[in-house]
Structures are given as structure tokens and as C-alpha cells.
Amino acid sequence: MKDRDYRLNLVEQMAECDANYIRLLKLIPAFRKISTASKKPFQRQLLEQGQIAQFIVADQENNAGKIVLEINVLEAFKYTTTLEIIQKPKTGHWFENPTMQVRVYHDACTTEVTSYQGHRNFQPIYQLPNPRMYHRDEKNQVNRFLGEWLTHCLQYGRIEKVPDLTYSV
């Protein structure tokens, strides 16, 4: 594939990020309160760091354990929240469990993966070959993976723990 054959589809990429926001609202309904509160003047909500939501996404038959998707609040501000999403416990020797940081923009009703497996600052398009061996559309792929992960939680997951959100006016 030549460099000029690939074009960034911004509409498709933003649609995926917006859909991920809606999926997060379905998984953690308390985010709806943040979304509506951030649009009201002089109203401020507080989402405390360290709050965790947990979803059981699979039960392992062999060792009778469960695979949990854990969503941690890293930062919480008036219009944005930064989440860390981790799959626990370690499932195998051949690969690392997925882990990512996601920025949630409540005023724009969208999300964006800001870090995946420790890699940060994804470019919209990468030239091939590149030193880190990223795909040409790496940023789009990690946002799409987040969507697949959240969709799996919605279809097959069970809520184990959901954080309480506190508000102040």
C-alpha cells in the first residue's frame, strides 16, 4: 500500500469515540449525571480519584476464577475524567492483559484512548515502516478496540462494583 492510498476518516473516528462515550454511559450510569451537570451553569460535580467500577466479563472454567474488567478513576475535573481500564487477573504467559487510559470529555460527549499498553500520544497516521511498528491507523484501531471491549462488557458482563459519585453545587 502506498502512502497516498490511506486517508484518515475523521468522521468514522469521531463516530467511534462518540459511540464509546455512549457505551460508557450504559456501563456506568452515574456518568449521565456528570454529562448533564457539566452543561448547567455554576454547577460542579466531583468524581473522586481512586473510585473503581468492576465488571465480570468471563468465568474461567479450568481454574474456577473470573476475569474482571476494572475501571479506575485517575483524574476528575469539571469537563473531563481520565479512566484507567485494566483486565485482571493475568490470564496467560504469552501475552499481557489489555490496559489503557481513556479520557472522557463530558462536555463534548466523547472519549479518546490516550494510552494503550504504556504507549502514549498516538499519531493519526503513521508512515510505514516506523520504529515502533505501529499500524498506519493505530489510533483508530485502539479506539475501535475500546469499543469492542465495552460492547463485550455490555453483552456478557456482570456488574461487581460501581462507584458512587458525589456532587457539590
Are the C-beta atoms of 35 and 43 separated by less than 8 Å? Answer: no
Q: What percent of the chain has pLDDT over 90?
A: 24
Q: At what angle do helices 138-156 and 10-27 cross, to 10 degrees?
A: 30
Name the more confident of 106 and 132: 106
Average pLDDT over residues 60-64: 56
Q: In this structure, which amino acid lies at residue 118? A: G
Q: What percent of the chain has pLDDT over 70?
A: 75
> Model pTM?
0.78
Q: ∠ at Cα 53 (47, 59), nearest 5°?
A: 175
CA 57 to chain centre: 15
DSSP class of 108: T
Is the model's pLDDT at 151 over the cut of 60? yes
Least confident of 55-59, 71-75, 79-83, 140-144: 55-59
Name the more confident of 72 and 7: 72
Question: Residue 146: what pLDDT?
Answer: 95
List beta partners, residue 58: 67
Q: Rounded to whole angstroms, how far apart are CA atoms 149 and 68? A: 12
Q: ∠ at Cα 35 (85, 23), nearest 5°?
A: 45
Residue 41 binned pLDDT confidence (cut-offs 50, 70, 90): very low
Are the C-beta atoms of 14 and 110 separated by less than 8 Å? Answer: yes
3-state secondary structure of 149: helix
